[in-house]
């Protein structure tokens, strides 16, 4: 099934902040889903991974089986863009990093918690 990337959040650097980025993508995904609703029956909004020479990185995307749901993809892109513009990622990240450092180390299973398919 093909994927169409709708974009990413404007925060974090892979691979050092993988847990933070995945958390932010899940937050953004929830907003986009709230605004755009469920896509056509053969499509799903989710986190997708891209292979790159410098390493893998995630973004939000729409997976579909048959016909590309262009209108849904466009609506999701616009919603993600609005969300990115409205959120102060810097303030949230500073608050996150200022908390209990031990709770946010690289061994924290945050990846598995936030990638549960809804």
Instruction: Say if residue 107's pLDDT is above 70.
Output: no
- What is the rounded CA–CA span in Å between residue 27 and residue 105? 20
- What is the rounded CA–CA span in Å between residue 30 and residue 24? 10
- When pLDDT is cut at 50, 70 and 90, the band that residue 115 belongs to is very low
Structurally, how many domains does the chain consist of? 1
Q: pTM for the complete prediction?
A: 0.80
Domain that holds residue 75: 3-114
Q: Is the link from the previous residue into 15 a cis peptide, with omega within 30 of 0?
A: yes
């Amino acid at each position: 099934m093909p994927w169409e990337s709708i974009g990413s959040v404007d925060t974090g650097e892979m691979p050092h902040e993988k847990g933070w980025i995945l958390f932010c993508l899940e937050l953004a995904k929830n907003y986009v889903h709230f605004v755009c609703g469920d896509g056509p029956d053969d499509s799903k909004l989710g986190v997708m991974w891209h292979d790159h020479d410098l390493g893998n990185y995630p973004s939000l995307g729409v997976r579909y089986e048959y016909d590309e749901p262009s209108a849904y993809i466009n609506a999701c892109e616009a919603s993600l863009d609005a969300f990115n513009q409205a959120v102060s990622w810097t303030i949230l990240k500073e608050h996150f990093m200022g908390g209990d450092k031990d709770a946010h180390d690289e061994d924290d299973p945050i990846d598995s918690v936030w990638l549960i398919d809804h």
